[in-house]
Every structure is written in structure tokens, then in C-alpha cells.
Amino acid sequence: MKTPNVGIVGTGIYLPEKTIGAKEIAEATKGVWSEDAVRSKLGINRKFLPGADDGTQEMGAKAALKCLENTGVKPEEIDLILCIGEEWKEYPLTTSALYIQDRIGAWNAWGIDVQNRCCTCVSAMKIARDMMIADDEINTVLIAGGYRNGDFVDYTDKNMSMMYNLSAGGGAIILKKNYGKNLLLGSKIMADGSISRTAGVEIGGIAHPFTKDNIEEGYKSLRLLDAKKMKDRLNEVSMPNWYKCIDESLKQAKLTRKDIGYLDILHIKRSGHMSMLADLGLTEDQSIYLEDYGHIGQIDQILSLELGLRAGKIKNGDVVCMIAAGIGYVWAANIIKWG
């Protein structure tokens, strides 16, 4: 029996109206970073700030509605919603996928929340593909969510420069079984739990609960909990793990690095972005550097795909290499044959 194919029908993006520029970010660091360094080294011209109504769940729902509009898919066609929205949301202990189900009228769908930090979209796409192949009743999957972890960033914390880029927004992508085009051909995910507690929000959980004295600090306590351990380990394994994910997913797709036409990559510092393009034998025209958007967590891959298509950088027959990494630590790659 032939294995079903799974393809991408389309995407949807929601971005808040408010932005913050490199100058304001530099000022927030109280002189530690200059505006020029924020632009040239961190690679941030601007990023998005959530408005009063831009909750994580709501931004995911708005992106999902946009995705339905862009693709022409009817909400009742959706069988499953995988929500990739962050844990920082309007109401803790509520299921974001079911909020989205209600907001878009996907009455035939069931939903679950998936979490892999900034790797969640790439991971959810693999999960969706595997579930569609395994389950005859799942034919159309909506992956959607919102992100605003930038709320927790303390710009005066010198260790946190790697997260000054945290932005806000929502993204959605629809996958369909036997769609016959834009096929997801390979996926590889790797993890290293030895650094699972080297970064995170320090105050407000069970280990360090909120008290009347730490509320203000707690809401700016996204930190490197063990900066040395995390940085030493990442320097050792991060790039090899990323390249292993790329090569393994290409192998599944019966392709090689030479076949890659577009690198769909999350926002990282400028030197890292350029280094990866060089290592993969790609030019700047074969990717989009998200310097005008910042890092919208796991939404970056959907955004880069949509921008790449809009700019004509992804054409019929192109191989898209979609990569992500998330604190915890997780690395992942998806290979998509567009068209």
C-alpha cells in the first residue's frame, strides 16, 4: 500500500501594530548595547510589541482566520488543530487549541497544545504528517499559535542579549493528506535534556512561586539560569546537531544539501545566519533575514515561508529547508518540495 503524501496548503500571519526599533532597544539596555550594535550584531532593525488585545491565544486565532482566508479551506474541513502557542497566555491551564477551534468555527476538529519552545512549529509539522499517515480519519490539520515571550525580557540583564530579539505575533499553517504538492518529505528532531533547566522564567512556577515581594521582578525573570553550562554545551553541540538534522531530513527526502533552494530559518544573530548560509553553499538571496521582524519564536518558520513566497524566492520545484532550535534544548529540520 502506498504511503500517503502530506502537503502544505498555505499559511497565515498576524502581526501587532506596535513596534520597537533598534534605538529604543539600545536605550533599554542602559548603554550596554549601542543602536549600531543592535542592528549589526544582533540583527534587529525593529520587532513587534503586543497591543492590549494581542493575547497569545487570540493572536493564534487571528492567524488561523487569515490562513483560512488565504487558502479557501473551510473551518469544518479541519480534523485536528495542533496549537503551537506559548505557555504565556491569557489564562493559564486553558487549552489554546480549543480556544482557536471555537474562534474559527472548526466544529469537526479536536485539538491539543504542543510545546517545544521555538522548535514547536517544525516539531508539530512532523507530528501532523505522522498522524495523518497513521490515522485514516485525519486528513486536514491546522497548526496555529501566538507568541509574546518578549514580555519577560529584562534588557538590563547582560546575559539576555540573545533574547533581546523576542518579538510578538501569530502564525498558522494548514497541511492536507494527499494534497499532491508542497510536500513535507523529511523531518528530523534532536534533543539534549542536559541543559533543560539552563534557561527559562525563573519566578512564578512551583520551584520559585510568586510572593508579594517578587511580583515585579518575576514578570521580567526570563533568564539564563546557568549561563556557563548552557553556552559551553551549545558551543560544543549546537551546530553539529543542526547539521545532522538537516542532513538526516534530506536523506529521508532522497536529497542532498546541493538541492536546497531556500533556507527557512528562525531569527538568530547576523553572523550565525551568514555562517549557516555559507556552510550550506547558499546565498543571501536564498533566505530571508528577519531583521525587520525580530524572533517571533516558533512562528518564524511560517513567517519566513510566507515572506519567501511573496518575494518570489521560493518557486515551483524549489526545495525548502526549514530549521528551528528551542531552549531545552531542541534542534529540528523539515524538508519541503515546493510546487
What is the predicted pLDDT for the residue at 6? 98
Is this model's pTM higher than 0.85 or not?
yes
What is the predicted pLDDT for the residue at 212? 97
Instruction: State phi, psi for 177 to the nearest 5 degrees.
Output: -75, 140
83-113: pLDDT as tens digits: 999 999 999 999 999 999 999 999 999 999 9
Instruction: State phi, psi for 165 to the nearest 5 degrees.
Output: -80, -5
**At CA 173, angle to CA 307 and CA 337, rounded to 5?**
70
29-63: pLDDT as tens digits: 999 999 999 999 999 999 999 999 999 999 999 99
Residues 272 and 247 sit within 8 Å (Cβ to Cβ): no
What is the predicted pLDDT for the residue at 72? 98
With 90 as the cut, is the pLDDT of residue 1 above it?
A: no
The sign one gets for the Cα dihedral 151, 155, 159, 163 is positive
Q: Name every residue whose Cβ is closer than 8 Å to that of residue 199 and which is 6 or more positions away in sequence.
A: 222, 223, 224, 225, 230, 327
3-state secondary structure 177-223: ECCCCCEEEEEEEEECHHHCCCEEECCCCCCCCCCCCCHHHHCCCEE
284-339: pLDDT as tens digits: 999 999 999 999 999 999 999 999 999 999 999 999 999 999 999 999 999 999 99
225-262: pLDDT as tens digits: 999 999 999 999 999 999 999 999 999 999 999 999 99
Q: Name every residue whose Cβ is closer than 8 Å to that of residue 295 and which is 6 or more positions away in sequence.
A: 47, 118, 163, 165, 166, 167, 266, 267, 268
- Pairing verdict, β 169-177 and 6-14: antiparallel
* Cα(33)–Cα(305) distance, integer angstroms: 31
Task: Please give the DSSP secondary-structure letter assigned to residue 136.
Answer: T
111-143: pLDDT as tens digits: 999 999 999 999 999 999 999 999 999 999 999
DSSP result, 235-291: HHHHHHHHHHHHHHHHHHTT--GGGEEEEEE----HHHHHHHHHHTT--GGGB---T
Whether omega for the bond prior to residue 293 falls within 30 degrees of 0, making it cis, is no
CA atoms within 13 A on the CB side of 13: 19
What is the predicted pLDDT for the residue at 2? 87
* Cα(325)–Cα(308) distance, integer angstroms: 20
Q: Name every residue whose Cβ is closer than 8 Å to that of residue 305 and which is 6 or more positions away in sequence.
A: 8, 11, 173, 264, 314, 320, 322
Q: What is the mean pLDDT of residues 267-288?
A: 98
CA atoms within 13 A on the CB side of 182: 18
Instruction: State phi, psi for 137 to the nearest 5 degrees.
Output: -90, -5
What is the predicted pLDDT for the residue at 161? 96
Q: What percent of the chain has pLDDT over 90?
A: 99
What is the predicted pLDDT for the residue at 129? 98
* Cα(276)–Cα(216) distance, integer angstroms: 39
Q: What is the mean pLDDT of residues 176-185?
A: 98
